[in-house]
């Protein structure tokens, strides 16, 4: 279901979707009010919901849509402004599954291959996820957290899939972690805020570096949310600044972030090079950079997200004597990135999101089991 007050954008997005063999547009609507009134009749798996619309805007329509159709996957669409980024984060807290930044004009949108690619990938992966959930989740299950999207809430309530239970894990290495590096994508903002809230003592002891696939402006606001969730300083990494314990460093949108040695110090290094794994920032550069700085003292965590970013870097972390933890399929909004790491056999633990924080705390306290 495409909901946007621009007939040009509705038409363009609808043509893109209908051209794909595995998806179809079941409704093209002008306002949030139209969407609320028709969602039960149309019965979509996924809704693309514009933020700024007449009669009823996207953020006001969102909770009404989710009340009428609990497992609806809602992807918020907005132009890349700070106000709209803040609204998108609010939408995530209200139950939206994801967001996508729109180019500023219809002319830019029609020429935006990256926007088209990202939009179709989000629809495909999130739509497939909700269809699987329909077969295992009882409609009577109540939401468990206002900061986790419907797909993640439903996933966390289901049992671990058999495919996850059959995956092989490796023993944790004897090396004491000296840095925590985290990578995430789709579903990542909610997962990150839940995780950092449990890591207070770890953040105080070692640098924490995070790469979340996210555009500029959005990363600025995510850092502010992480600071509130963790009750610790958190900001976008600045090229050349010291990477110290007690602070969370987030890769800024549009730049790769690495750790680097500068004499006896560890500093943040930003890189404006080409995308890696179609992403910028990407997780692999962060993970591999940690090896040069902390050798086997890297603990890498791969959270929910599309694609396989983090898997190759995770392989190098393990080869250097470090450890990798992946989020399990049941609690992931999309089990692409963590699934790639898990299936590569590089993980020492594959855990639900609500168990990862406790495991990290134990590892930094010397427990290697």
Give the whole-angstrom CA distance, residue 223 versus residue 210: 10
245-272: buried (b, 16+ CB within 10 Å) or exposed (e) per residue? eebbbbbbbebbbbbeeeeeebbbbbbe
- Concatenated DSSP letters for 95-114? T--EEEEEPSSHHHHHT-HH
Q: What are phi and psi of 287, to 5 degrees?
A: -60, -45
Instruction: Name the residue among 238, 231, 229, 186 with its Cα closest to residue 209.
Output: 238
Q: At what angle do helices 188-196 and 82-94 cross, to 10 degrees?
A: 70
Residue 206 near residue 179, CB atoms below 8 Å: yes
Give the whole-angstrom CA distance, residue 275 versus residue 246: 29
Give the whole-angstrom CA distance, residue 241 versus residue 120: 37
Return the C-alpha torsion angle 208, 213, 217, 221, nearest 10: -50
15-29: buried (b, 16+ CB within 10 Å) or exposed (e) per residue? ebbeeeeebebbbbb
- Give yes or no: 14 in active site: no
DSSP code at position 334:
S
Give the whole-angstrom CA distance, residue 57 versus residue 368: 50
Catalytic residue among 185, 230, 289, 348: 185
The dihedral built from the CA positions of residue 167, 170, 171 and 173, taken in this order, carries a sign that is negative
Give the whole-angstrom CA distance, residue 143 versus residue 209: 30
Catalytic residue among 28, 98, 213, 256: 213
DSSP code at position 44:
-
- Give yes or no: 331 in active site: no
* Placement of tokens 């997200």 in the chain: 305
DSSP code at position 256:
E
CA 38 to chain CA centroid, nearest Å: 29
Catalytic residue among 34, 98, 309, 328: 309
The residues assigned a catalytic role are: 185, 213, 309
């Amino acid at each position: 279901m495409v909901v946007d007050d621009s007939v040009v954008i509705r038409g363009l997005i609808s043509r893109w979707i209908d051209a794909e063999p595995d998806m179809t547009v079941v409704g093209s609507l002008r306002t949030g009010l139209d969407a609320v009134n028709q969602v039960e009749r149309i019965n979509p798996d996924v809704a693309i919901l514009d933020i700024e619309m007449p009669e009823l805007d996207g953020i006001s329509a969102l909770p009404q849509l989710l009340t009428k159709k609990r497992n609806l996957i809602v992807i918020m669409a907005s132009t890349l402004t700070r106000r709209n980024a803040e609204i998108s984060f609010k939408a995530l807290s209200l139950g939206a599954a994801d967001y996508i930044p729109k180019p500023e004009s219809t002319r830019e949108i029609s020429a935006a291959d990256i926007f088209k690619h990202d939009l179709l990938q989000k629809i495909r992966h999130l739509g497939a996820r909700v269809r699987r959930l329909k077969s295992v989740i009882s409609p009577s299950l109540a939401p468990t957290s206002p900061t986790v999207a419907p797909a993640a809430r439903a996933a966390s309530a289901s049992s671990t899939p058999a495919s996850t239970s059959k995956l092989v894990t490796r023993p944790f290495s004897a090396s004491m972690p000296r840095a925590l590096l985290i990578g995430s994508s789709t579903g990542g903002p909610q997962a990150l805020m839940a995780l950092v809230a449990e890591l207070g003592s770890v953040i105080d002891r070692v640098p924490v570096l995070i790469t979340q696939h996210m555009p500029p402006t959005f990363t600025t606001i995510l850092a502010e949310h992480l600071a509130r969730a963790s009750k610790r300083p958190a900001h976008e990494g600045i090229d050349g600044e010291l990477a110290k314990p007690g602070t969370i460093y987030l890769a800024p949108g549009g730049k790769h972030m690495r750790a680097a040695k500068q004499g006896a110090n560890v500093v943040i290094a930003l890189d404006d090079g080409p995308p890696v794994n179609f992403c910028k920032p990407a997780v692999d550069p962060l993970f591999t950079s940690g090896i040069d700085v902390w050798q086997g003292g890297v603990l890498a965590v791969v959270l929910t997200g599309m694609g396989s970013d983090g898997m190759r870097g995770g392989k190098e972390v393990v080869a250097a004597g470090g450890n990798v933890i992946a989020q399990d399929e049941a609690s992931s909004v999309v089990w692409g990135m963590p699934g790639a790491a898990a299936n590569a056999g590089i993980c020492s633990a594959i855990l639900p999101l609500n168990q990862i924080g406790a495991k990290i705390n134990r590892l930094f306290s010397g427990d290697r089991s």
